[in-house]
Amino acid sequence: MDAGDFPLGRPGTLDASKGKTVLRRNALWAVRLEWPAGDHEFGCPRSDEAAALRELDRVRSYWARGPMRPRLSLVRISHHDFELHAKARRGCKAPDCP
């Protein structure tokens, strides 16, 4: 069998699945709230995307009832960044955040 028959052979497949596992362990899905003043915060951390999407819906309907309308989105964020925002980065406006 010629190696050229498998341009996307097994080694690449294994690497890809390994990368995915690492990503899942180190990152979370979270709801990002961006306020009109330009600061943002993150809430409702979930490890799987389907659960995170349900949280996004829940958060959206919560804020839809009041006068405050943060811009909501779902983001990938590391545990470390999430913890930072929960503790030390209240009112964060850094443009390089997820």
List, as own/partner pairs, every contact residues 55-63 make where C-beta atoms lie below 8 angstroms and the sequence separation is at least 24, other chains included: 55/31, 56/31, 59/31, 59/33
User: Residue 31 Cβ, how far from Zn ion at the closest point, in Å?
Assistant: 14
Question: How many residues at the interface with Zn ion, by CB under 5 A?
Answer: 3
Q: Rounded to an integer, what distance in angstroms lies between the CA atom of residue 23 and that of residue 34?
A: 25
User: Residue 82 Cβ, how far from Zn ion at the closest point, in Å?
Assistant: 10
State which of positions 59-98 bind Zn ion (CB under 5 A). 92, 94, 97
Q: Tokens in use for 87?
A: 């503790």
For Zn ion, the closer of residues 1 and 94 by Cβ is 94
For Zn ion, the closer of residues 9 and 38 by Cβ is 38
For Zn ion, the closer of residues 53 and 92 by Cβ is 92
Query: Do 93 and 40 meet the contact criterion of CB atoms below 8 Å apart?
Result: yes
Interacting residues of 1 by C-beta distance below 8 A, sequence separation 6+: none
For Zn ion, the closer of residues 12 and 91 by Cβ is 91
In the complex, which residues of this chain contact Zn ion (CB under 5 A)? 92, 94, 97
